[in-house]
Amino acid sequence: MPHAVTSDNVRLYFEEAGSGTPIIFLHEFAADHTNWEPQMRYFSRGHRCIAYSARGYAPSDVPRSADVYTYQHFYTDALAVLDHLNIAKAHFVGLSMGSYSSLQIGLNAPERARSMTLAAVGSGSELSNLEAFRKQCQANAELFETIGSAEVAKVTREAPSRISFMLKDPRGHADFYAALARHDSKGSANTMRGFQGGRPSIYTLTETIRKVPTPALIICGDEDENCIGPSLFLKQHLPASGLAIFPKAGHVLNLEEPALFNEMVERFIALVEAGRWSARDPRSVVQT
């Protein structure tokens, strides 16, 4: 099995397909590398596509200490996969947790990113609710440790931002939660504590975000209420960003609306590679 090795000797399982300009896919908390299959099949027709499972997600290593699950570990892990494959620069396509890591690469290593697709980004960022969110993350971590992933999957499968997926595609929704049920409970608990419950709110990163030159496509479902505000915020402050709102859509955009997702990302990447996705012209900004 192919693995990349991080700076702290964590092995990350990855898969790749196709050839051309590289695209690396970063998954959300409830997913793993397999949830990018519709995109791996589609984009590998014209690009070199890489999907990997984050630390804590088998068949990648599952470190036992929560101390090595910070957001810094997660975004540098993505770079470790690229380094292992001798890829200097790639398009980053992330969902939720993966979007946050992609954004951090834009903030901290912009020279490695050709573009950033930030889908379902920013949940848990609202400053007025931040402490409550972090306490909930700690409680969720304990839930994984006490009842296990299979039982957590049962009690979370009808979370509000997942309902539209369930209604549109019951089979796909069931497959998604069957996969979550197989996740390593300790890895999920540590990710919930370290990454989900410890990452800075994107609202505290305004000045740094304003300096990011990387082309960005922000995608949000209009029924993913926790991500609408952060998506609008990023559109306002990321200089070279565009925003797409998917109608009647929730959180798992790449699986819930795979054709629309692929079409939107394909167009974005094509425009970036043609040099046609630039920073916003100041003349288009309404002065207040």
The structural domains of the chain, with segments of one domain joined by +, span 3-124+202-284
pLDDT tens digit sequence for 13-61: 999 999 999 999 999 999 999 999 999 999 999 999 999 999 999 999 9
Q: String of b and e for 187-209 (b: at least 16 CB within 10 Å)?
A: bbbbbbbbbbbebeebbebeeeb
Question: Is the confidence at residue 285, as pLDDT, over 90?
Answer: no
β-pair partners for 90: 113
Distance CA 156, CA 241 (A): 32
User: For strand 22-26 and strand 216-221, is the pairing parallel, antiparallel, or unpaired?
Assistant: unpaired
Phi/psi class of residue 180: alpha, beta or left (left: φ > 0; alpha: ψ in -120 to 50)? alpha
Does residue 288 register a pLDDT over 90?
no
- Flag whether the pTM goes above 0.85: yes
Strand 216-221, strand 3-5: pairing:
unpaired
The pLDDT, as a whole number, for residue 36 is 98
1 pLDDT exceeds 80?
no
Supply the pLDDT for residue 287: 78
Mean pLDDT over all residues of the chain? 97
CATH superfamily of 3-124+202-284: Alpha/Beta hydrolase fold, catalytic domain (3.40.50.1820)
Q: How confident is the model at residue 255 (pLDDT cuts 50, 70, 90)?
A: very high
pLDDT band at 282 (very low <50, low <70, confident <90, very high): confident
